[in-house]
Amino acid sequence: MTAIKSLRSIPFLLTLVMSLTLTSCRDTTPEHQPETTRPAPAMVQPVMSSPEIDVPLTDESLYQIGVTWSDQNGRSVQLASLRGKPVVISMVFTRCAWACPMIVQDMKKIAARLPDDVKDRVHYVLVTLDPARDTPDVLAEFARTHHLDATQWTLLRGTASDVRLLAALLGTRYREEANGQFSHTNMISILNEEGEIVHVQEGLGSDPTGSVDKLRNLFAANS
Residues 6+ apart with CB under 8 A from 222: 193
CA gap 188, 203 in Å, rounded: 9
Q: What's the predicted TM-score (pTM) here?
A: 0.78
What per-residue confidence (pLDDT) applies to 27? 34
Question: 3-state SS of 144-198?
Answer: HHCCCCCCCEEEEECCHHHHHHHHHHHCCCEEECCCCCEEECCEEEEECCCCEEE
pLDDT at 14: 52
Of 114, 113, 142, 110, which is closest to residue 126 (Cα–Cα)? 142
Average pLDDT per consecutive 10 residues, the chain (223 residues; last block may be shorter): 46 48 35 35 37 75 94 96 96 94 98 94 97 97 97 97 95 88 93 97 96 96 78
Secondary structure (DSSP) of the chain: ---GGGT--HHHHHHHHHHHHHHHTT--SGGGPPPSSS-GGGGG-B---BTTB-SPPPTTBGGGB-PPEEETTS-EE-GGGGTTS-EEEEEE-TT-SSHHHHHHHHHHHHHHHS-HHHHTT-EEEEEES-TTT--HHHHHHHHHHTT--TTTEEEEE--HHHHHHHHHHHT--EEE-TTS-EEE--EEEEE-TTSBEEEEEESSS--THHHHHHHHHHHHHH-
pLDDT of residue 3: 43
Domains of the chain by start residue, with CATH:
4-222 (3.40.30.10)
